[in-house]
A and B are shown apart, each in its own frame.
Chain A
Amino acid sequence: MTDEQKRIKILIAKPGLDGHDRGAKVVAQALKEAGMEVIYSGLHRTVDEIINIAVQEDVDFIGLSIMTGAHIPITQKLIKKLQDKGITDKKVFVGGVIPSRDIPKLKELGVDGIFPGGTPLNETIEFIKSKAQKV
């Protein structure tokens, strides 16, 4: 790899009106300590705002933290908008309150990684490292 030295850059985003961000901040901190560059969107973001931040900051990954049960419509909207804008260089992962029956549906939508509450932090870190190598 030519850009081996380039740090992995990640946006951790909180879409929608829900304000529970303990998990999002813990994951952000863990990724940062694992040597990645992490940007946190802050609360109450629209999908458009999230995409704008991701483009402006030129991140490699967008991580959505969703606790309200709206993970499918929100993720669908984000992935569709990324496709419409021709943005193909960003991988998407989702964390939060995600029932296991929804995991196949999220994968079908094109989500690269799904990390329901309780997933060990290392699993998320390893996932990102392995995906980043394939970019």
Chain B
Amino acid sequence: MAVARYIKDEKDQIIDVIYESGIHVKPSYSPKDLEEIGFEYEKDLADPGQYPYTRGIHPLGYRSRAWTTRQYTGFGTPAETNERFKLMIAHGQTGLNVAFDLPTQMGYDSDDEMAEGEVGRVGMAVDTLRDFEIAFKDIRLDKIGSGLTINAVASIMLAMYQAVAERYGYDPKVISATPQNDILKEMIGRGAWIFPVEPAVKLIGDTIEYSMKVMPRTNPVSVCGYHIRESGATPAQEIAFAILIANAYIDNVIARGYDVDDFVGRFSFNLNVFGNMWEQIAKFRAARKLWARNLKERYGVKKPQNLFLRGLFGGGGYGLTKAQPENNIMRGAYYALVAALSGAQTTALCSYDEAYTIPTPHSALISLRTLQLLMDEVGLRDTVDPLAGSYFIETITKQMEQKIEEEMFKIEKYGGIIKAVADGYAQRMVARQAYEVEKGIESGELFKVGVNIYKEGESMEVELHEYNYESAEKQIESLKQVKRERSSTDVARTLKELESATKAGKNVMPYLVECCKAYATLGEMTNVFRQIFGEFKEPSLF
């Protein structure tokens, strides 16, 4: 994808290179550059596994353990999901990654008018605990962790996960869920929000506080710079927003009287890999350093392992093209190389056909092999942070650090991330950037192979999957059956208790667990919140 601006003279020689974050690249670098920028090994890098962790959070990196690969997959009904889970576990996968359909992500039951045409389309439909009972049947929840890709109603899904674990006889202390649970990024970039900013952040605080006490192996938040970048943000903005968003969640929990060391070690990050490769490598290295420094200096975090930026560096969806789609295999390989050179703990790649369809098992396998090849064949496990000490990489890593801090400062000066999101300031920053990129591609100032240079042939036709009306009807029928069989007095009582607790500003999690156990529906629980909190009024600025 078009990623940097190249200024050339009439002889096609490059006079200047300007990265998306605003860094100008020189023809060559020397020790003088490091001197000028005030580079100090101990302060700026230190050894791998040493503060500020620029070189990585582990002293041995991939020598001790290769990265975890976690391809994202989605499928219709809970029963189909259960089959797929078992298949993946049989192939040695140690973690699940659950995709939910849009009605579930938005807190609507499958029989709601708003859900029409969307039930089971982009993931599994979930209405009640019965659906989780089917989806997680015969899965060892004490051994297998589950990623739950959901945000606005993450609190409800986490409660349901606890309820299903208990139904199958597991102690909540031994289960491990990883809900995405980052609502501020939904408001900036992905759009699956429901409640206004403040109550939405409060719900995230509830999940963090509750997990700490009841489900200590759960990772309650995965902060996603990823989608903000996909929506148009520069790499520096991606990291600036991610750190400020994480801080907003930390602040909510600290205000309840907890020590940040008690919970921040369970935070993780999801960051994007497309773009100019050097700029991305500098971004990841600077991000690790800034996150550690932020926690140490701003929050007084003491335990070293709580300072680690753990993350999934991957995806790269925006970089892929419909034109000449096989080129995406090569793009994916370079993106994966960036993730490996940057010391990603976990990774996943968008598949080459993802720009025009839902990936086939074959293309998903190519992605997986691309990742495995780097670790097992090409040599990325040989040594930690192999680019360390490069005059160029170290110079731009420091410059990137400054660019990220400048972006953080803009938001803080505006009044903080919560205000910036509520007012639409953050969204406008990102939308403007997206527009600049689009204009750059159209004018030919930014290159995109197959799109505005080296064009040939037709681009691939988009393939959309037919909507499965039958499986949607099945889901609605099963919801009706649950409603007939459940105790309506239990449902009414638990929902009433949820309502009182919500109004009183208590942590809603224990009440949600009781609602789930009474087979209250997702829509019923969400409506309690909708009535008390109202809905986010999107500032329609662009």
Contacts and interface: CB of A to CB of B under 8 A. Distances in A.
Interface of A: 16-22, 25-26, 28-30, 32, 38-44, 46, 68-70, 73, 97-101, 116-118, 120-122
Given A21-B191, A22-B230, A44-B106, A99 B542 contact: no
B465 A69 contact: yes
Interface string B246-279: 0000000000000000000000000000000000
B464 interface: yes
A20 B430 CA distance: 13
Interface residues of B, number: 40
Contact of B462 (A16, A19, A30, A98): A98
Contact of B538 (A18, A42, A118, A122): A42
Contacts of A42: 538, 540
B102 A30 contact: no
Given A70-B117, A97-B464, 18 more contacts: A16-B118, A18-B102, A19-B190, A19-B192, A21-B191, A21-B231, A22-B232, A22-B431, A25-B434, A25-B542, A26-B438, A28-B542, A29-B542, A38-B542, A41-B540, A44-B106, A70-B118, A101-B461
Contacts of A120: 442
B468 to A, nearest CB: 12
B431 A29 contact: yes
Q: 5 tightest A-B contacts by CB?
A: A19-B191, A69-B464, A42-B538, A17-B102, A25-B431
Residue among A25, A30, A97 with the most chain B CB within 10 A? A25
Q: What secondary structure prevails in chain A residues at the interface with B?
A: loop
Nearest to A74: B117
A43 B459 contact: no
B436 to A, nearest CB: 10
Nearest to A16: B118
A118 B356 CA distance: 12
Contacts of B439: 121
A98 B463 CA distance: 9
B438 A99 contact: no
A68 B118 contact: yes
B435 A25 contact: yes
A99 B462 contact: yes
Interface in B184-240: 186, 190-193, 230-232
A84 to B, nearest CB: 18
Residue among B232, B465, B540, B542 with the most chain A CB within 10 A? B542
A49 to B, nearest CB: 12
Contact of B464 (A30, A32, A41, A99): A99
A26 B435 contact: yes
Nearest to A28: B542
B103 interface: yes
A20 B190 contact: yes
Contacts of B231: 21-22
Contacts of A43: 191, 538
Nearest to A70: B117
A48 B105 CA distance: 22
Contacts of B459: 118
Contacts of B232: 22
Contacts of B434: 22, 25-26
Contacts of B463: 99
Interface string B116-128: 0110011000000
A32 B432 CA distance: 13
Given A17-B103, A17-B106, A99-B461, A68 B121 contact: yes
B331 to A, nearest CB: 17
B373 interface: no
Given A43-B538, A97-B462, A17 B114 contact: yes
B414 interface: no
A73 B193 CA distance: 24
13 contacts: A16-B117, A17-B106, A17-B115, A20-B190, A22-B231, A26-B435, A29-B542, A38-B542, A40-B541, A42-B538, A99-B463, A99-B464, A120-B442
A45 B446 CA distance: 34
Given A30-B435, A99-B463, A118 B322 contact: yes
Contacts of A41: 540
B540 A40 contact: yes
B462 A116 contact: yes
B467 interface: yes
Contacts of B438: 26, 30, 121
A42 B189 CA distance: 13
Given A41-B540, A73-B117, A100-B461, A121 B103 contact: no
